[in-house]
Amino acid sequence: MSIRSSPLLPHILRYQKRSLIGTTSSGRFSTFASPKCAASDPDQLKSAREDIKELLKATFCHPILVRLGWHDAGTYNKNIEEWPQRGGANGSLRFEIELKHGANAGLVNALKLLQPIKDKYSAVTYADLFQLASATAIEEARGPKIPMKHGRMDVSVPEECPEEGRLPDAGPPSPAAHLRDVFYRMGLNDKEIVALSGAHTLGRSRPERSGWGKPETKYTKDGPGAPGGQSWTVQWLKFDNSYFKDIKEKRDNDLLALPTDAVLFEDPSFKDYAEKYAVDQDAFFKDYAEAHAKLSNLGAKFDPPEGASQETIILHKFNQRSSWQQNTINWKERALGCYETKDSSRIRKGLGGTPDKPLPTNYFLNIIISSLVFWQF
């Protein structure tokens, strides 16, 4: 028996023709529709996250990616209803006019790091990419898991960027009042202000960019990454609660404490949370994760309106795989003309052979039958 004369051939060819209609772009079968996410493609988001992890390992850019996401979202004004005039996480920080805002000094370097990933995954918006990078940087620095969702739409032109002056200053005359003015405008409260301040456990301040900090310290003179600057903590690439401990103790002149840091232990309301986080890292991680997720959604216009959570994306991948498996099983059965069983002995017997007496003239067909029946995914 030749493969051309095999009774399997019409079934195989017919099913191959039909299966082309129901395949995904990767060639896998799927009867499940992708979660509707017109803003960003779920598969590309997942792959972009893996590339961001590799970027972090290679460049130690955790702090600047966190800052990029924060500054894109932190322009939100809850008192403005219209999008994108209200600001927030909309990808506007990719435009030169906003990158030149004083508070965004140095963030062009973060954009340069992420641009190759954006070019590779063109179906991911800048707004989603900035927030994905920020959350991933926290998690890869051993911080808490951030409950993110995606589907943020991008602004289209530089004219849609927010005006300068919506982000916090490091050394205002009245630090507590300034923090509340800025963060209350975003719809955040005192607990969220203190929790988010704890992200200063990562990174350094460079005087050439912000006007604050020393050119270098014993903790930063050798990097990793570009050397220099002054950090808030000794291990400034590890996310933990040491920021609160160090600000409270004020023991090390090589560690930075801005006026907006020190006020967390001076203002009565802020102090309650700062004292708590200094002794309870679990509480800090919980409150920080919730505050970061809230910040990352501020002002965003989602498509779909409810956004697509990472759990939805994972479920989509699982459903897609399960559908592929089921379709492949159906393909085996249809191609073999055997709908009631996957027992290879019955199949071979129907074609004139048995396990003890395989088809004598077609070794290749015997291999196909075994593979079709016992192939596991």
Given this model, what pLDDT does residue 364 score? Answer: 46
Q: For residue 77, what are the CA distances in angstroms to 57, 89, 182, 186, 294?
A: 35, 11, 9, 5, 14
Q: pLDDT tens, 174-213?
A: 999 999 999 999 999 999 999 999 999 999 999 988 889 9
- Checking phi first, is residue 269 left (phi over 0); if not, alpha (psi -120 to 50) or beta? alpha
pLDDT at 313: 55
Phi, psi of 306 (to 5 degrees): -85, -5
Whether 318 maps to a domain, the answer reads no
Distance CA 66, CA 188 (A): 18
- Which residues does the chain have with pLDDT short of 50? 2-6, 8-37, 324, 328-329, 331-342, 361, 363-377
Tell whether 291 is covered by a domain.
yes
pLDDT for residue 315:
52
What pLDDT shows up at residue 334? Answer: 47
Q: How many domains does the chain have?
A: 1
Find the radius of gyration of the CA atoms of the chain: 28
Q: Which residues contact 336 (CB under 8 A, 6 or more apart)?
A: 8, 11, 347, 369, 372
Looking at residue 15, what is its pLDDT? Answer: 38
Domain assignment present for 247? yes
Q: Is the dihedral of CA 119, 306, 93, 138 positive or negative?
A: negative
DSSP SS3 for 373? helix
The Cα 206–Cα 358 span in angstroms is 75
Packing angle, helices 62-73 and 107-120, rounded to 10: 90
In a domain, 89, yes or no: yes
Catalytic residue among 62, 71, 178, 292: 71
DSSP count for the chain of H helices, then E strands: 16, 4
Q: What is the pLDDT of residue 309?
A: 73
The whole-number pLDDT of residue 293 equals 98
Q: Does residue 358 belong to any structural domain of this protein? A: no
**What 3-state class would DSSP assign to 308?**
strand
Name residue 96's amino acid.
E
Q: Is 71 a catalytic residue?
A: yes
**Which residues are paired to 308 by β-bridges?**
150
Q: What is the DSSP letter of 230?
A: E
Beta-bridged to residue 150, according to DSSP, are 308
pLDDT digits (tens, 9 = 90+) for 111-131: 999 999 999 999 999 999 999
- What is the predicted pLDDT for the residue at 217? 97
**CB half-sphere exposure, 32, CA atoms < 13 A:** 18
Structure tokens, 354:
């048995």
Q: Which residues constitute the domain of residue 86?
A: 42-303
Give me the CATH number covering residue 277. 1.10.420.10
Question: How many CB atoms neighbour CB 21 within 10 A?
Answer: 7
Residue 326 in any domain: the answer is no
